[in-house]
Amino acid sequence: MTAVHGSTVEIPTLDGTADAYFVHPAGGGPHPGVLLYQDAFGPRPALNAMADRLAAEGYAVLLPNVFYRQGRAPVVELPPHIDHDNRGALFARLMPLMQGLTPDLVVADAHAYLGWLADRPQVADGPVGVTGYCMGARLALHTAGAHPDRVAAVGGFHGGRLATDQPDSPHLAAATMTAEAYFGHADQDQSMPPEQQERLEAALTEARVTHRCEVYRGAGHGYTQSDTSDFDAAATERHWAALLDLFGRTLRR
């Protein structure tokens, strides 16, 4: 396994300074850049470890705290293990933050994150990849739609509410995307029911976006998050295989 170097960094934005975790292979380079979007619980050891694993595969990975307007990560104190007993209380505090992160703010922040990556000597020139988990899949879609010149690949895993009937639904970003996309839906995820899966698939197809959408049978919302009760080791490894295949084909030309 390739050794990696990770550190906490600060990224200037239009609304302040976003704290973030930046990790890249310890030697060689530069490396293709990847923007990794958090789930609702935000940057923490379990998510940093996912960024580390991606970096060990040869990528320079930025994991921003997208709730930086409310404070540094973690913006809500987290237990060592997130389960069904404490999840409700956590979401009661996190839901207003999620709802306040509008598409306009997501796009403005993405501009800052991508600009910061472009200025790093560890990051190769050229397109970047974006991957997002839970709410992060929504952010990934908005970022790809707003920055078609920069984003060549989008991975979204156990994303929720990606194709609603609202005028700012994330799936509408397909119309301006040029990135190849992969989505791994959880079939036990009530936030991404079959009708939304079908709506997302139809939007990607109509926009002629190269894509693959798969349903992970038996997996629940949050299946990649190792510090939660929804963690599914087999589904997580399937996600890694799909994500690395996507990035390997699109970012290493």
Sequence ranges of the domains in the chain: 4-250
- Span 47-68, average pLDDT: 98
Residue 12 φ/ψ, nearest 5 degrees? -65, 135
Determine how many CB atoms are found less than 10 A away from the CB of residue 34: 27
pLDDT at 1 over 80: no
The angle at the Cα of 179, spanning 174 to 181, to the nearest 5 degrees, equals 75
CA 137 to chain centre: 5
SS (H, E, C) 65-110: CCCHHHCCCCCCCCCCCECCCCHHHHHHHHHHHHHHCCHHHHHHHH
- Span 198-212, average pLDDT: 98
Confidence of residue 253 (pLDDT cuts 50, 70, 90): low
The model scores a pTM over 0.85: yes
Sheet strands side by side (includes 128-133): 4-13, 16-25, 60-64, 33-37, 128-133, 151-157, 180-186, 211-216
| Residue 4 CB contacts under 8 Å (≥ 6 apart), including other chains | 23, 24, 25, 26, 52, 55, 56
**What is the DSSP pairing of strand 16-25 with strand 60-64?**
antiparallel
Could you give the 3-state DSSP secondary structure of residue 35? strand
Q: What is the pLDDT of residue 252?
A: 86
pLDDT at 170 over 70: yes
Fold observed for domain 4-250: Rossmann fold (3.40.50)
Percent of the chain with pLDDT over 70: 99
